[in-house]
Amino acid sequence: MSRLNVILVVAVIAGAVVISSFGSSVMQKLQAGFLSAVSPFLKTGSAVQRQLGAMGEGLKTLDQLEDENQRLKTENTELRATNQILRDLEAENSKLRSALDYRKRSIFKLVPARIISRDASTWWNTVKINRGFEEGLEADQPVLTDVGLVGKTTTVAKNESIVLLISDESCKVAAKVEGSNERGILFGRRTGEGGAPAEMQLNFLSKKANLQPGQRVFTEGVSKGTSIGVFPSGIFLGTVKSFQARPLDGQAIVEPAVDLSSVEDVFVVVDGAK
Amino acid sequence: MKLTVGWLSLALAIFLALIVQEFIPALRFFHGARVFLAPMLFCYGALAMPFWAMLLMAIYTGFLIDLAYLNVPDGHVEIALGWSIVVFVFFGLFAHGLQPAFAGGRWWLHVLLSAIFTSAFLALQFVMICFRRQGIFFNETVAWRIAAPGLFAAVLAPLVHLTVVKLAPYVRGPTRLEPYRIDQP
């Protein structure tokens, strides 16, 4: 290798080291720029994928459509009835609140978003959604569905964002178990650890917790400023699958409430989350 | 001119490969392994291009991959931007050393190096994540996720090679299998 080539290699490596010393916010800005650049391709690809999926789903028999129609009618009736009960409860609740001069509860502002690509990398559990800072999104905002928590935003571009799923090992959530005083930190399992890939572990429980399969796990919602406290309290995370006492603490394996491999439409909590 | 067209075509192919990969689902049969094409495409450039063009390609590929897979949980970057550039420079140096053999007709070198580079890149990425988290570990799933993308790259590498050979006449390149170097007149 000639001397010039050696100098070129050293210069490139030195340049790479300089780039690696950039702060995380600079790196996120660069990634946001990249996301914006690839966005038209991702959106087009996502639309094509959806149309192909819809074509397959569209081929239903009349019997199937009739069944579906019947099921939706029943569901509609049930929801109307539930709504009526909830309206009564709301009225009663507001009467009691005003009687007690209770502080008004903050209401979440939700931005609907659609997943445009998922599982892009080998080692991280992330998805990309079609909403960004133009719609009011910021980093570290909770992402959920009507069923439960999905994850949180990390890098936010103009009209796209990356969502770190709760099944990822680096996404930590303060959690509490229904019907007990147990509290712990929930995060994804390591690659290849355990059974289903989306299973999560709830650590730092007491050794005597003795949790039963089927017990539900919710977000704890700890104070702002901590990495695990970005989620509002009371969001459904999943159900306990098993529990084991370890030498120093108890650990529960939790199945996520949301099917993270097939979820398509989500909501980002942009206000009143903390 | 021919080199510029070749470089730009490869750069475009790497960019498109990163986007196409987004829509290829994880392969459950291979423990959730994913198709990863960028190292295979870079490998072709490193075997076929002059030294400075290979270095430029390493910067481009490394930077793009880092941007695509940057993970920032809680405001902390897991693998810093720029490390892939260093890795691709070393891959490129190795491949460039084998350029005379490749130009001499040993097309299978691209297949072999594609598999090695793809798996080696994923293995390095995995080791770095492990050091950032709770120490290194290894199991069957990790092995498959590292090895399978290398195998896919090796299977697809001849297609890339064939495509370049077929397209070469349109950019006044080689019209037969030899020579492979796309910088030659």
Cα–Cα distance for residue pair A38/A34, rounded to 1 Å: 6
Cα–Cα distance for residue pair A134/A157, rounded to 1 Å: 8
Nearest CA in chain A to B28: A197
- Per-residue pLDDT, B156: 92
User: Does the pLDDT at position A194 exceed 80?
Assistant: no
Cβ–Cβ below 8 Å for A123 and B126: yes
Nearest CA in chain B to A166: B73
- Per-residue pLDDT, A273: 44
Please state the rounded mean pLDDT for residues A88-106.
70
- Per-residue pLDDT, B119: 95
Interface test with chain B among A130, A186, A191, by most B beta carbons within 10 Å: A191
Higher pLDDT, B76 or B64: B64
Three-state SS letters, A2-23: CHHHHHHHHHHHHHHHHHHCCC
CA distance A248 to chain B (A): 17
Partners of B20 on chain A (C-beta within 8 Å) are 45
CA distance A18 to chain B (A): 8
What confidence tens digit (pLDDT) does each residue in B10-61 have?
899 999 999 988 888 888 888 888 889 999 999 998 998 889 999 999 999 9
User: So where are chain B's domains?
Assistant: 2-24+31-171
- Per-residue pLDDT, B1: 66
ipTM confidence:
0.83
CATH superfamily of A173-256: Rod shape-determining protein MreC, domain 2 (2.40.10.350)
Which pTM was predicted?
0.82
The overall average pLDDT reported for chain A is: 83
Q: Which helix (H) or strand (E) holds A75?
A: helix A62-100
Residues 6+ apart with CB under 8 A from B98: B47, B109, B113
Partners of B71 on chain A (C-beta within 8 Å) are 121, 124, 126, 154, 164, 170
What confidence tens digit (pLDDT) does each residue in B121-167 have?
999 999 998 888 877 778 888 899 999 999 999 999 999 888 877 77
- Per-residue pLDDT, B179: 42
- Per-residue pLDDT, B185: 43
User: So where are chain A's domains?
Assistant: 62-105, 173-256
User: Does the pLDDT at position B173 exceed 60?
Assistant: no
C-alpha distance across the termini of chain A, in Å: 58
Indicate the residue of B26, B34, B82 with minimum beta-carbon distance to A19. B82
User: Does the pLDDT at position A268 exceed 80?
Assistant: yes
- Per-residue pLDDT, B175: 37
Please state the rounded mean pLDDT for residues B80-98.
92
Indicate the residue of B26, B58, B139 with minimum beta-carbon distance to A192. B139
Beta bridge partners of A254: A200, A240
Please state the rounded mean pLDDT for residues B107-127.
93
- Per-residue pLDDT, B95: 92
Residues 226-265 of A with CB under 8 A from B: 227
Question: Any chain B CB within 8 A of the CB of A125?
Answer: no
User: Does the pLDDT at position A215 exceed 70?
Assistant: yes
